[in-house]
Amino acid sequence: MPISIPEISPDASPTEILQAGIAAANGPVSLACSFSLEDVAIIDIATKNGLNLGVFALDTGRLNEETYEVADALTERYRLKIDWYFPRHEEVEQLEREKGLFSFRESLENRHECCHIRKVEPLSRALKELKGWVTGMRREQSVTRADLKAVEPDSANGGILKINPLISWTERQVMEYAKENNLPTNRLYQQGYRSIGCAPCTRAIGPWDQVREGRWWWENPEHKECGLHRR
């Protein structure tokens, strides 16, 4: 039976979106955590409101040390259990033996291949037993996210609910929430990073750039997704 999509007011708060989405899913829901400011804020909101939200993370094998530090801090502060998912080692080995360590910079096709092995396939395993998943995506982040809905069916993953509680927040709102609540924060933000993924695919940018300009900076803006959020 398909899951019904709840009606969400345009003025709904992140807490209200989370509550409505979790209730509509009527089953296990987890946050896909990349340890961004957005994801840490969602964990804090869910914890303070007693929401039944699991947390999983994808360890691509190429994350920054600073990202692991945030994971450790969250575990300690919230007594959080993080379910880690990893790429299949034989696929990583084959990719690197046949195409080298930086094939993802040679073409969009190669980059999608790397993302599929390191992110998309592990995500499919993480979502297998879930009725819904939560992301930290915001409409402001990029042209590829401008038409996000607060709660929507994820047809790419069996029609489970995809819940985006921070869609209407600005970057400033996220930063202010993190500061006001003294949240664990990736040290790379202090070095000019504004969106943090795998180390070889992320770099610092200027305050005038779009938030995700530092992701796959050699590609056009309309291509700056890894395949986790197919629409």
Q: What span, in angstroms and rounded, lies between the C-alpha atoms of 112 and 201?
A: 12
* Residue 204 forms part of a structural domain: no
Q: What span, in angstroms and rounded, lies between the C-alpha atoms of 42 and 76?
A: 16
The residue ranges of the chain whose pLDDT is under 70 are: 1-2, 142-146, 222-231
What is the set of active-site residues?
Answer: 226
Q: Which domain holds residue 182?
A: 14-192
* Residue 71 forms part of a structural domain: yes
pLDDT given at position 2: 61
* Residue 151 forms part of a structural domain: yes
Listed in sequence order, the DSSP H helices in the chain are 14-25, 37-48, 65-78, 89-99, 108-115, 121-126, 171-180
pTM of the model: 0.91
* Residue 138 forms part of a structural domain: yes
Number of independent structural domains in the chain: 1
pLDDT given at position 217: 87
pLDDT given at position 1: 54
* Residue 83 forms part of a structural domain: yes
* Residue 180 forms part of a structural domain: yes
pLDDT given at position 163: 96
Asked whether 166 and 176 are in contact (CB, 8 A), the reply is: no
70 CA to centre of own chain: 14
* Residue 25 forms part of a structural domain: yes
Q: What span, in angstroms and rounded, lies between the C-alpha atoms of 129 and 165?
A: 21
Q: What span, in angstroms and rounded, lies between the C-alpha atoms of 42 and 155?
A: 23
pLDDT given at position 140: 78
* Residue 212 forms part of a structural domain: no
pLDDT given at position 44: 98
3-state secondary structure of 110: helix
Residue range 172-197, pLDDT digits in tens: 999 999 999 999 999 999 999 999 99
Q: What is the CATH number of the domain that holds 149?
A: 3.40.50.620
Q: Which amino acid appears at position 1 of this protein?
A: M
What are the CB-based long-range contacts (under 8 Å, 24+) for 77-84?
77/184, 78/43, 78/44, 78/47, 80/43, 80/55, 81/54, 81/55, 82/33, 82/55, 82/56, 82/57, 83/30, 83/54, 83/55, 83/56, 83/57, 83/126, 84/56, 84/57, 84/58, 84/59
pLDDT given at position 204: 95
